[in-house]
Chain A
Amino acid sequence: MTCTEFIALLDDLIDDTVTTDMRADLQEHLRGCEHCEVTLNTTRKTIQIYRSHEIYDLPSDLRERLHSAIMARCKKGC
């Protein structure tokens, strides 16, 4: 397996949608390729970091204001 072939299957590996055979091939490639191992690990970390950090927080005062405006309109039948 080449690095290009590995990268093409990177998402399947990350999302765990590979077959057992394919996984074995990917792992075989990883054993001998530090670059792909780094790419895999840092891509996983990229996803995890975006998932675990709130970058657009909705402050509670704004939240309440939006909420009141929405519900007031809904009660009037929009």
Chain B
Amino acid sequence: MSTIQPIAGQTEIHPDVALVERVRGGDVSAYDTLVRKYDRQVFRIAQHITQNREDAEDVVQDAFLKAYEKLDQFQGNSKFYTWLVRIAVNESLMRLRKRRTGKMVSIDEDIETEEGTVPRDLADWAPDPEQNYSQAELAEILRKTIQGLPRGFRIVFVLRDVEGLSTEETAETLGLSVPAVKSRLLRARLQLRERLTRYFRKKNGKGTGVEK
């Protein structure tokens, strides 16, 4: 289709773009492939933002339906995945807004904190600290810890470090500047590290490691 602008000298088309082209051409089954490729990521992002399982389920449906409706607006020069993530982030924020009966919800909420800019707990971790917990316990620790971060930090960490978007893609997706993403990422990483130290510190050190 004519909306795809091939970059001069670059003939290789990303498999996602080829799938989008097929959907635009009327092949709905190609969309099936795209949904299966990215549904887990969209669900994860929605869970991180809404912190609510039912909302996350709704977001998965709404985001993929919206992406399908807006497929004509997708420009082949950006990645389908980052385009989809942007829709998923917006749908997640809309869900939160609905739950809070129309109160404005933004990704800038609660970030006015100085916590985490200076590491305070400098205890080293046990080697392979995950081994001290079962998979279920570990998942619970990781969930609880990341849920405690301000939303504006959490989203940046998830997109950048968990979902593997670049700093520039994260900035574009969230409508933030690159320096803002960098600053939030550093603070998110340091805060998570600090909070995980409670669980993962060497047990022979001082302090109160949470026991199994």
Contacts and interface: CB of A to CB of B under 8 A. Distances in A.
Contacts of A46: 189, 192-193, 196
B192 A71 contact: no
A51 B161 contact: yes
B56 A43 contact: no
A62 B130 CA distance: 28
B185 interface: yes
A70 B65 contact: yes
A42 B124 contact: yes
Interface string A44-68: 0111011101111010001100110
A39 B39 CA distance: 34
**For this complex, into which size category does the number of interface residues on chain B fall?**
35 or more
A63 B44 CA distance: 12
Contact residues of A: prevailing secondary structure: helix
Contact of A38 (B31, B117, B122, B162): B122
Given A38-B122, A70-B35, A58 B40 contact: yes
Contact of A42 (B43, B44, B61, B125): B125
A31 interface: no
Interface in B102-150: 117-119, 122-125, 129-130, 135, 138-139, 142-143, 146
B80 interface: no
B168 interface: no
B196 A78 contact: no
Interface of B: 28, 31-32, 35-36, 39-40, 43-44, 47-48, 56-57, 60-61, 64-65, 68-69, 117-119, 122-125, 129-130, 135, 138-139, 142-143, 146, 157, 161-162, 182, 185-186, 189-190, 192-193, 196-197, 200
Given A46-B189, A78-B68, 18 more contacts: A35-B122, A39-B119, A41-B124, A42-B197, A46-B192, A46-B196, A47-B189, A50-B161, A55-B139, A56-B56, A56-B143, A62-B57, A66-B57, A67-B36, A67-B39, A70-B35, A71-B32, A74-B28
Interface of A: 4, 7-8, 10-11, 14, 35, 38-39, 41-43, 45-47, 49-51, 53-56, 58, 62-63, 66-67, 69-71, 73-75, 78
